[in-house]
């Protein structure tokens, strides 16, 4: 198993290095609208840090998505931007599989979540990372089913998930209030045999 895909490197989350990235992501409205169910407003640095702690505790796997230094021309550090450098990579986002509670692990399922810095969106990094973590989940994590929930207005994400092989399983009608109107929440999932049958193991 390789902790990288064609353009990305995946590494463990390091609080000392990565808390600023959480803070930056959760204070970017373009990112926040798709990953945070609360009212959209500037968040204190404590909120993303607490979210990061919960993610690590509840995830089957949670990793930073990084670009090798040779593959990027810009780096933002401190807490002022949405990317950061650790050694020879630039962190651009977070991807994880959230596991079930201990008494439900025999169901072999997990929930996918991803947050990618807005300046790195539209370059194919999201689909690449999703394919990598699906492969990890089915090959290494022993999962049978990986699900997600997507905000109905996020049409780009919906196209990506469908192209990868996720199937829509349900729709929570008018379940989210954003920008002065109601939006649906859409439940999607992919099963192990659906992933393997498409020859997707990497």
- Chain segment 159-188, per-residue pLDDT in tens: 999 999 999 999 999 999 988 999 999 999
* CATH class of segment(s) 9-197: alpha beta
pLDDT for 75 equals 35
Instruction: Report whether 143 contacts 108 (CB < 8 A).
Output: yes
Instruction: Report whether 112 contacts 133 (CB < 8 A).
Output: yes
pLDDT for 120 equals 93
The model's pTM: 0.86
* pLDDT tens by residue, 96-143: 999 988 899 999 999 999 999 999 999 999 999 999 999 999 999 999
Q: Cα(66)–Cα(59) distance, rounded to whole angstroms?
A: 19
Strands 145-151 and 84-86: unpaired
pLDDT for 202 equals 52
pLDDT for 108 equals 95
40: pLDDT strictly greater than 80: yes
Task: Compute the C-alpha angle 93/99/103, nearest 5°.
Answer: 165
pLDDT for 100 equals 87
Better-scored residue on pLDDT, 27 or 134? 134
Q: Where are the alpha helices (DSSP H) in 12-59?
A: 15-26, 29-35, 46-58
- Average pLDDT of the chain is 86
Spans of all domains in the chain: 9-197
If you write DSSP's letter for every residue of 54-122 in order, what string do you get?
Answer: HHHHHEEEEEEEEEEGGG-S----TTSSS-EEETTEEEEEEEEEEEPPGGGGGG-EEEEEEEE-GGGTT
């Amino acid at each position: 198993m390789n902790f990288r895909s064609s353009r990305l490197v995946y590494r463990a989350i390091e609080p000392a290095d990565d808390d600023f990235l959480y803070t930056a992501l959760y204070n970017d409205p373009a990112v926040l609208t798709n990953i945070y169910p609360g009212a959209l407003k500037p968040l204190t640095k404590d909120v993303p840090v607490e979210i990061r702690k919960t993610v690590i505790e509840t995830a089957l796997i949670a990793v930073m998505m990084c670009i090798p230094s040779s593959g990027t021309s810009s780096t933002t550090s401190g807490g002022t931007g949405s990317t950061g450098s650790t050694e020879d990579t630039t962190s651009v986002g977070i991807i994880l599989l959230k596991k079930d509670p201990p008494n439900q692990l025999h169901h072999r399922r997990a929930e996918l979540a991803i947050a990618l810095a807005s300046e790195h969106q539209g370059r194919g990094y999201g689909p690449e990372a999703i394919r990598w973590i699906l492969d990890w989940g089915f090959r290494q994590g022993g999962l049978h089913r990986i699900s997600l929930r997507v905000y109905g207005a996020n049409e780009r994400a919906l196209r990506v998930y469908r192209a990868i092989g996720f199937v829509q399983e349900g729709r929570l009608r008018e379940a989210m209030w954003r920008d002065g109107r109601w939006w649906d929440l859409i439940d999607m999932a992919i099963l192990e045999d659906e992933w393997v049958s498409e020859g997707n193991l990497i």
